[in-house]
Chain A
Amino acid sequence: MKRIIPFLFTMFVALSVLAQTDTPFDKTAFKDQKDELKAGLKHLKEGDKYFYGLPFADYKNALTNYEEAYKINPNNSVLNFKVGICYLNTNFRTLSLDYFTKAYKLDKSVSSDIKYYLGQSHQLNSDWDDAIKFYKQYLTEGRGNKNANVDLVNATDKRLKECESGRTLEKKPIRVFIDNLGNNINTEYPEYSMIMNADGSEIYFTSRRNTSTGGSFDELNSGYFEDIYFAQKDGKTWSSAQNVGAPINTKGHDATVALSPDGQKMLVYIDDKGDGNIYESIRTGDAWSKPKKMDKIICSPYHESSAWYSNDGKRLYFISNRPKNGSNKAEPEDRDIYYVTWDAEKEKWDNLVRLPDNINSPYDEDGIFVHPDGKTLYFSSKGHNSIGGYDIFYTVLDEKGGFSDPVNIGIPVNTPDDDIFFTMTASGRFGYMTSFRKDGFGEKDLYKITFLGEPKQPLLNSEEMLLAGLDIIKQEKTIEPIIKNDRGELALLKGTIYDDKTKLPLYAKIELYDNETGELLAEFESDKVNGRYMLTLPAGKNYGIAVKVDGYLFHSENFDIPKGSDYAEYKKDVYMKKIEVGESIVLKNIFFDLSKYSLRPESKSELERLIKLMNDNPNLKIELSGHTDSRGSVQLNKELSLNRAKTVVDYLVNAGISRDRLVSAGYASERPIVTDAQIAAMKTTKEKEAGHQENRRTEFKILSK
C-alpha cells in the first residue's frame, strides 16, 4: 500500500490540472468549507514546520502533512511547489515533475527558481529536451535575477552538460537485464552497498531493517542502524539473507565496503562519530575477526567511505575527502580516489597516491570497485559525463600504470539519479548495484544486472554450386564472428587443499608466478579451517602456481591465459603429498620446445623449486620421468620422453645436485593420466586437446629419502 499511495496521488494531480486557477488557502476560496479550510491550514502549518526544520528539513514528514492539505486544495501553486521539493528530496524524485509543472501553470512566478526545478524534474525523468529548455531559460533569467538562488544558477551549466550527456548516451543504450534480487535479499527497508567474492557465490550487503543489532532507530538519518547481512548462492537463487552478527555488527552503523576476491578479507565502514573510517576483518572458516581500523595513511581525520583491494592484494584503492594538499587541518574537499601499496617488509600500507585528474573530477567520486581482472576500476562520479547525480564509470589500468579516461557505463544502468555501489562478477556477465526502482520493495534495493554485450549475430546457411562441370551442391563456408570478451578476460581458479592421505583440509601458501619473467606476482593463503582458496588469473600471462605446505611436496599447476581469452572457471582441489618414498608429483611448469628436448626459459621457476626441495632434503633420491601423449611414433615418443627427463636431470646436476641422487626415465605414452578411451569419449576438440596436454608431462618420484 505504501507504494500505491504516491501513484494515486499523482493521478489525482494529473486530473486536477484540468481546472487550474491558483487557489489560496483563505476564506474567499473556501467560503462554505470552513472546517476543511481549518484542517488544510493546520496540515500546511505542520508541514511547514518540517519543511523549514532545523538543522535539517524533514521532507518525509512535511510531505505527509502537505498531502493532507493537498486533498483539500490541490490548486495552490505554493503547495504544489513545496510538494515538488519534498518529492525531490525523497526516493520518489521523479514524481516531483507533476507538482512543479502544476505550480508553474498556476503561477509562473511561484518561485524564482521554478525553472531550475522544472529542468531538474524533467532531467530525473530523462526528458532531456524539456530539461535543457528550462535550464537554459533559468540560466538566462536567473543571471539577472537577484532573488534567484546563486548556487542553483551556478549549478545549471553542469546540469545542462548532464542533459547533453543523457541525450547522447540514450541513443546507444547498453543491452542489459536488470532484475531485483528478490525477497530473500530485499525488504521494505533500505538495502545497499553489496559486495561479493570473485565468483559471485557469496554476497554481503548493508541493510537498515528493523532486525538490525540493537533494533535502535537513528533519528538523525530517519532509519534503523545499519548492519551487514550475508547470503549465498543457492543453485539459481539466493539463500535467505542472514545478519552476519558480532563482532562485525554492533549497535552502531556497520556497513559493507569491500570483499577481497578470495572472500577471505572484508572491509567495513564504521562511522567513528562522524569521521568515517575503514576497518578490516579477516575470515577463518565461517567466522569473521573483530574489524581492525586500517593504517593511518588510509584512515585520516577526514571521511573515508569506500575502498577495494586490487586482485593481487598489493594495492588498496579508497575514497577520501581529505584536502588535496595533504593538510590535516584544512576544510574537507570533494571526494577523490586514492591508493596505497602494501609494503611487505614493513607490513603496512604505504605510498599514498591520488589518482590523476583524468579520473578524479572536480566533483565527488565514490563507490570504488576493482574488477578481478586486475585492471578495470569501476567507480561512481558526479563529474565527467554523468547524466545526473552519481553515475558508474570505469577506467582501465594500462601496463605502464596509467589510467584510461573514464567511460560512462551507459543507460539504463546509469540513471539521472544516483547510481553507486557497483560490483561485478569475474566473468563480467553479472553486475550488482543499488537502486530505487518502481518494481522494488519500497526502498533502495539490490539489483542484478546481466550484461548481454553487443547484439549476438545469428548464423545463416547458404548453398552454392561452384563448378559448372560437377553437380556438387556445396554448403557455403561461413566465417564465424570472433567474439570479443571485453569484460571478463580472465580465469578463476578455486578449490580446496587437502592432505592426500587423510583427505583433511590443509592451510597452504599459494604462490603465483609469471612463468615468462619468473616474477612472483602474488601470494595467497588457503582458509585456515576449511582449506578453500580462490585466485583470479587475468589474461595475458602464463601462470605457474605453486602450493606449499611444510613437510609436503610442493604441488604445481600451470595456466596459460592468453590475451583475448574467454572467461573460464576452474575448480581444482589439490591433494598434497607428504615427502615419502613412492610419492610422485607432476611438474606442470616444465616446458620444452615443440617435439624437442630443449628446456624453455619459462621452466625456470619450477626448476628452482625442485632444486630447493632437493637441497632442503639432502637424502632425497628421485626419478625424473618424461611422458608424451599417444599421438605419433612410439619409438620417437620413447626417445623424446627419455631425452626430456635427461635434460631436467642435467639441469639439476648443473645446479649442484649430485647425479647419483637422480634417475631419468622415458615412458612415452605408457602411463597416461587420461586414457585414449576417455579422450575419445570427450565431446569437443578443446576437451580432447586438454586430455592430451595432461598426458604430456614431466614427473618426479621419490625413490628413497
Chain B
Amino acid sequence: MKKILTLVCVSFLTFYGVRAQNTDVKVLSEQELEQIKAEQMPAEAERSYNEGVSAFMSKDYQLAITKFSAAIAVYADFPGAYLNRGMSYAALKDREKAFKDFSMVMEMDSTNSLAYFEKAIIYFNDKEYENAIAELGHAIEMEESEIKYYYQRALANFLLENYQEAIVDLDRILKIDPDFAYAYNDKGSAYKELNELDKAAESYKMAVNKDKKFKMAYNNLGTTYRKQKKYNLAIDAFTSAISLDKDSYIAYNNRGYAKLENGDYEGAIADFDKVLQLKPDYAYAFNNKASAYIKMEKWEEAVKQCDYAIKLNPEYGYAFYNRGIAKEMLHQEEKACEDWLKAVELGVETASSYYANSECNNF
C-alpha cells in the first residue's frame, strides 16, 4: 500500500507534463486509496498492480496488461487496475479494449473523473477533438478544480479553431493557478490566431514574466510583434529566445524575417545563414534568403537561393513565386511566367494575378 501511495505522489508531480501524457503513470485519488484500504485488497492484487505500474513505466505495455489483469483476477472490484490496464491498451492503440476498461471504471466508481480524462486523451490523440471535449466535460463536472482537464480541453478547442472557447478554459486555469506560464502562452496563441495581436502580445509577455526561460513564448512574442510591425521589439524577443537556446533554428529564421521587414537585409541574410548552419536542409531559409536578395535587387543571387530551396523541396510554391519575381527583373519574363504558373499549381494564389496580368499566355 505504501508503494502505491508513493507512486501516486510521483504521478502527481508529473501532471504538468501534459505533452508526455501518454506515458504518465496515472493517479489514484485519495478516495480510491481509502476505498482500497477499507475493502482489504489482497496482497497478491496489490503486488500485481504494482508490477503492472512498473511495467507501464518501463513502457512494457503488454506485461503491464498481464499484471493489471492478474490484479483484477484476484480482486475484481479494483477500478485503479482497470484504469491502468485501459491506459496500457491505449498505449498499444487498442482503443476498443481501452474504452471497455474505462467503462468498467465509470461503472465501479461514478466519481472517477480520470476514466473520462483518459478516454478523452485517446480521442484527442486520434484527432477526434469534439469527442475529446465531450469526455473532458464529464471529467470537469466531477473535478472542477483539475487544471489538466481544462488545459486538455483548451488544446482540443484550439485545434478545432474554437479559439474563444480555448481562452475561456485557459482563463479558468489561470484563476486556479495564476503562475501557469503555459496557459498564458497558449492564450496568447489563441489571440494571435484571432488576429487580436495586442492581447496576444500581452499574454505572451505574461508567459515570459512567469517563466523567464520560456523560449517558446519569446518566439511567439516575437512573431506577434513582427505582425504588429514592431520590428525592433520582435528582434529583441527572438534574440531572447536564441539566448535561451543557441541552436534554435526557428528563432533565427524568425529573427531574420523580422530583420528583413525592418529593412536590415544583410542582418536577415546573416540569420538565415545561421539557420542553414544549424539545419542545412531547411528550404524555408533558402527561400527567405532569396527574399532578402529580392529586396536588395540582387536578382541573380535570389534565383540561386530559390534554386536551392526548390532542389530541397520541388513542391515549394513560394520559392517558385519568388524565383519568378527575380527572373522577371532579369528580363527573363518567359521563365518568370513558367515559375508563376508552377506556383499557382502549388496553391500560391497571388502568382495567378502575376501570371494573368503579365500576359504570360502570350509567350
Binding site for B on A (CB under 8 A): 177, 199-200, 233, 236, 425, 427-430, 450, 452-453, 456, 458-471, 473, 476, 478, 480-483, 485, 487-488, 566-569, 683-684, 686
Q: Are A463 and B361 in contact (CB under 8 A)?
A: no
Is B220's CB under 8 angstroms from A464's CB? yes
Q: Which of A428, A452, A462 contacts B328 (CB 8 A)?
A: A452
Q: Are B359 and A429 in contact (CB under 8 A)?
A: yes
Q: Flag the segment in B29-37, B41-49, B136-144, B184-192 that touches A.
A: B184-192
Chain B: minimal CB distance from A486 (Å): 10
Alpha-carbon gap, A459 to B294, bound state (A): 10
- Contact digits for B168-180, partner A, Cβ 8 Å, 1 yes 0 no: 0000000000000
Do B353 and A686 touch (CB < 8 A)?
no
Q: Is B334 at the interface (CB under 8 A from chain A)?
A: yes
A37 to chain B, nearest CB (A): 53
Q: Which chain B residues in 336-363 approach chain A with CB under 8 Å? A: 344-345, 348-350, 352-354, 356-359, 361-363
| Partner pick for A488 among B19, B329, B345, B357, CB 8 A cutoff | B357
Complex contacts, A683 vs chain B, CB 8 Å: 344-345
Among candidates B254, B291, B352, residue contacting A464 with C-beta atoms closer than 8 Å: B254
Q: Determine the distance from Cα of A307 to Cα of B99 in the docked complex, in whole angstroms.
A: 83
Interface residue stretch chosen among B3-11, B62-70, B80-88, B318-326:
B318-326
- Judging by beta carbons under 8 Å apart, are B350 and A460 in contact? no
Query: Which residues from chain B contact A236 at a C-beta distance below 8 Å?
Result: 334, 363
- Please give me the residue from chain B that is nearest to A483 by CB atom: B353
Decide if B114 is an interface residue (CB 8 Å cutoff): no
Which of B50-58, B104-112, B282-290 faces chain A?
Answer: B282-290
Q: Mark B306-328, 1 if CB is under 8 A from A, else 0.
A: 00000000000010011001001
The verdict on A473 contacting B186 (CB below 8 Å), with A460-B260, A566-B357 known, is no
Residues B186 and A425 in contact, CB atoms below 8 Å apart = no
Tell me if A460 and B359 are in contact (CB < 8 A): no
- Complex partner residue of B344 from A427, A478, A684, CB under 8 angstroms: A684
Minimal Cβ-Cβ distance residue in B for A487: B357
Complex Cα distance, B18 from A681, in Å, reads 44
Give every chain B residue within 8 A of A468 (Cβ-Cβ): 19, 181-182, 185-186, 214, 216-217
Given A465-B216, A684-B344: A459 in contact with B321 (beta carbons within 8 A): yes
Task: Given A463-B250, A683-B345, check contact A566 B352 (CB 8 Å).
Answer: yes
**Contact of B123 with A by CB under 8 A:** no
Task: Point out the residues of chain A lying under 8 angstroms from B152, CB to CB.
Answer: 469
List, in ascending order, chain B residues with CB within 8 A of A684's CB.
344-345, 352
Chain B residues near A480 (CB-CB < 8 A): 348-350
Q: Tell yes or no: B2 within 8 A of A by CB.
A: no
Q: Find the A residue at minimum CB distance from B185.
A: A468
Determine the residue in chain A with the shortest Cβ distance to B283: A461
Beyond A469-B182, A684-B352, list 8 extra A-B contacts (CB 8 Å).
Answer: A427-B359, A460-B318, A462-B288, A465-B216, A467-B189, A468-B181, A468-B217, A569-B362
**Chain B residues near A487 (CB-CB < 8 A):** 357
CB < 8 Å A-B pair total:
131
Residue of B nearest to A426 (CB): B359
| B158 to chain A: closest residue by CB | A467
> Smallest CB-CB separation from A571: which chain B residue?
B361
A470 to B18, CA, bound (A): 8
B253: which A residues are within 8 A, CB to CB?
A: 462-463
Interface residues of B in 244-267 (CB under 8 A from A): 250, 253-254, 257, 260
B352 and A686: CB pair below 8 A?
yes
Contact in complex: B363, A458 (CB < 8 Å): no
The answer to whether A459 touches B318 (Cβ under 8 A) is: yes
A90 to chain B, nearest CB (A): 31
- In order of increasing CB-CB distance, the 4 nearest A-B pairs are A458-B291, A466-B189, A468-B182, A483-B353
List 27 interface pairs A-B (beta carbons < 8 Å), by A numbering.
A200-B362, A236-B334, A427-B357, A429-B358, A452-B329, A458-B325, A459-B287, A459-B322, A459-B348, A460-B288, A462-B223, A462-B250, A463-B284, A464-B250, A465-B250, A466-B186, A468-B216, A469-B18, A469-B155, A483-B350, A483-B354, A483-B357, A566-B352, A566-B353, A566-B356, A569-B361, A684-B344
Q: How many angstroms from the CA of A471 to the CA of B182 in the assembled complex?
A: 13
A566 to B152 CA separation, bound complex (whole angstroms): 46
Partner of B353, one of A177, A465, A485, A569: A485
Point out the residues of chain B lying under 8 angstroms from A482, CB to CB.
350
Contact B223 A450 (CB under 8 A): no
**Residue from the list A460, A463, A476, A569 in contact with B287, Cβ < 8 A:** A460
Are B288 and A461 in contact, with the CB atoms below 8 A? yes
Task: Determine if B181 and A456 form an interchain contact, defined as CB atoms under 8 angstroms apart.
Answer: no
In contact, A476 and B186 (Cβ under 8 angstroms): no
Contact residues in A for B349 (Cβ distance below 8 Å):
480
A461 and B189 contacting across the interface, CB-CB below 8 Å: no
B219 within 8 A of A: yes
**Distance in angstroms between the alpha carbons of A488 and B344 in the assembled complex:** 20
Query: Quick one: closest A residue to B207, CB to CB?
Result: A468
The answer to whether B129 has its CB under 8 Å from any CB of chain A is no
